[in-house]
Chains A and B, each alone.
Chain A
């Protein structure tokens, strides 16, 4: 199997889907001539032409709005929001139009579109280029919310998202774009939207994470393993619909849960996982459910030291693992 970076896997998925299905099109800021600010769409304009790889104006509401219209006309648009931080301008189109179309039309119209957005901090991007926005959309029935943590899943999940008949929010951990490498199967494959993945088996406690934090959680778990703490790591992969069964099965085994995300604590996705455990696995808990998240500050700071303070990292995760194991 060839090894590649996460961003290469995204590009391959787009390339292969554009080749496979002529209804697929890519639209976003700088996705054409520039090949995307992160090079996710590099070479696609030359290959598939201006009608299928479309440079949009700097107007996120129109990127998604055009996508909604195109999808209703039978196309399969992949809208790129350059940074997840800019998606707020398109919130109305996503929530009021895209998410509700199938429901509003009693299932008569589906809306096959994907909204890709790089998210997350730790890259020195400051307030406008570091946000995590998954919790906003994981709250909206009618959407699917997917966050891959490695190249294989990124490619497979993006293909599944493009082939899905309804809107999928596809958030990519941008710090991991070039940092996270991994093997990717050859040929056409997809990874189903929905199931979480137990990426490391363990017996002492469960860590639930996704995206970049899953990558860090694996590192922390390996270190904890060297200290004799057996950590199970669950990559949630799909936040909506949530894979309750995998979450519950893991905690029924270990009795302890730590949820890690880089989005801030209050109202974050971890609260949902914690609530599921409290409601459905209360009798299996051997310790309070623990969350390790960014603190509730209005934005990821630009200063390196302050950014480090805000962001969870393997060391902080290891600290939380030790505390929970000790309990």
Chain B
């Protein structure tokens, strides 16, 4: 029996993946767990290990093709072994496997740990567990999750029958398999010679959905202050080499992260999320950094427990996360779970901005370009390296009083470095 290679689920809420590159080609011998292809989700590129030892018999999804998670994208087996589907001449790729395959208790490559009761309920109710959202440790599907799913099905009148009058084929229509919306009709191009339709890659689509959702969700207000970076600049100049000896490139971003941590400590309400039940205060400070991938979009890797790191620790984390974000080598969980975000729009020369909140966080701090400007100090003109800090906050959670207090603390931390 050949073993199917399926599109892995690279993160929560990720419903499809794109084949970035096949490392092996049909006919190659592979070891179990040997990387066999690379897939691309909206945030990261990940290697997919071979599910079994043998020969890569068939590649079903070509490079660049996007398929729902869980779809069979290839087969591994003994050399010359027949591959299911070949004899029926079905079109290759992008076909989800039949739902409700019997899931056995134990470790499941795709779903994590399946407890005996979950396996039994799935069999009893003929459930496709891939449709059940897990809330247990590491996203494990718990008995309660299955029960909640069954209850929801009951109130929704149950799942659609597999066979709809329109298709009559014994497999589940793709749109029933996940909540993925129907692909919209492409716009008509008035003048195909002049206009061109750029297809959406997963990252563009994710950014679009997230940004629109955030603007719909939270009333955004932006407040701007400026900070004199004289002391930071001096400190950085004095310590660049010391840090380099410790293997870290000391960036201005590291100082901003440290200052934000100080601000969050002074105004814990800013380190929070809105929920209808109440404001969810986060004790831990996981600070995300928006890293531009230029025209390809952007990623927000997260520095966990930033308040517990020294400047050296922050600098290392910034270096590491930014470098791997740019080469798209982040692990899926490194780009999620943030409680606050910093965006460095100044790298492109922008002075101040109105950043969009990274939901479900309360705020995002935009850091502008550092410029030498003439400022008035003690009624004298002075030339100082200045930066505008734009803080956008969710006005449901905090008011201007708290927001300005937070921002003032950040400014003070930087000016008093």
Contacts and interface: CB of A to CB of B under 8 A. Distances in A.
Given A283-B117, A283-B120, A287-B115, A327 B137 contact: yes
Contacts, number: 28
Nearest to B137: A327
A213 B143 CA distance: 28
A103 interface: no
B14 to A, nearest CB: 23
Nearest to A323: B137
A284 B147 CA distance: 13
Contacts of A326: 136-137
A283 B104 CA distance: 11
A286 B115 contact: yes
Nearest to A254: B143
Interface in B300-326: none
A286 B137 contact: no
A282 B118 CA distance: 11
A285 interface: yes
Nearest to A255: B143
A286 B118 contact: yes
B120 A286 contact: no
B142 interface: yes
Contacts of B120: 283-284
A283 B137 contact: no
Interface in B114-150: 115-120, 136-137, 140, 142-143
Contacts of B140: 327
A285 B137 contact: no
Query: Which size bracket describes the interface of A in this complex?
Result: under 10
Nearest to B136: A327
A284 B116 CA distance: 6
Contacts of A287: 115
B117 A285 contact: yes
A282 B116 CA distance: 6
A81 to B, nearest CB: 42
Contacts of B118: 286
Interface in A287-327: 287, 326-327
A295 B120 CA distance: 34
A80 B140 CA distance: 51
A327 B144 CA distance: 11
Interface in A242-289: 255, 282-287
Nearest to A204: B144
Nearest to A252: B117
Nearest to A287: B115
B125 to A, nearest CB: 14
A327 B139 CA distance: 9
A287 B112 CA distance: 13
Contacts of A286: 115-118, 142-143
A255 to B, nearest CB: 4
B226 to A, nearest CB: 45
Interface in B17-68: none
Nearest to A278: B116
A286 B115 CA distance: 5
A86 to B, nearest CB: 43
B275 to A, nearest CB: 15
B83 to A, nearest CB: 34
Contacts of A285: 115-117
B136 A283 contact: no
Contacts of B117: 255, 283-286
Contacts of B136: 326-327
Contacts of B142: 255, 286, 327
B36 to A, nearest CB: 32
A326 B134 CA distance: 12
A155 B382 CA distance: 88
Most interface-central of A282, A286, A326, A327 (chain B CB within 10 A): A286
A151 to B, nearest CB: 37
A100 to B, nearest CB: 39
Contacts of B119: 283
Contacts of A284: 116-117, 120
A135 to B, nearest CB: 27
A152 to B, nearest CB: 34
Contacts of A283: 116-117, 119-120
Contacts of A327: 136-137, 140, 142
Interface in B329-385: none
A327 B134 CA distance: 11
Contacts of B116: 282-286
Nearest to A256: B143
A204 B41 CA distance: 35
A230 to B, nearest CB: 11
A110 B137 CA distance: 53
A284 B117 CA distance: 4
A236 B136 CA distance: 29
A41 B143 CA distance: 51
A287 B120 CA distance: 13
Interface in A102-141: none
Nearest to B121: A283
A202 to B, nearest CB: 13
Nearest to B115: A286
A282 B117 CA distance: 7
A255 B137 contact: no
A119 B112 CA distance: 43
A326 B138 CA distance: 10
Contacts of B137: 326-327
A326 B117 CA distance: 16
A12 B186 CA distance: 87
Contacts of B115: 255, 285-287
A84 B117 CA distance: 40
The 10 closest A-B pairs by CB, nearest first: A286-B143, A283-B120, A255-B143, A286-B115, A286-B117, A285-B116, A327-B137, A282-B116, A284-B117, A255-B117
28 contacts: A255-B115, A255-B117, A255-B142, A255-B143, A282-B116, A283-B116, A283-B117, A283-B119, A283-B120, A284-B116, A284-B117, A284-B120, A285-B115, A285-B116, A285-B117, A286-B115, A286-B116, A286-B117, A286-B118, A286-B142, A286-B143, A287-B115, A326-B136, A326-B137, A327-B136, A327-B137, A327-B140, A327-B142
Interface of B: 115-120, 136-137, 140, 142-143
Given A255-B143, A285-B117, A327-B142, 9 more contacts: A255-B115, A283-B116, A283-B117, A283-B120, A284-B116, A284-B120, A286-B118, A286-B142, A326-B137
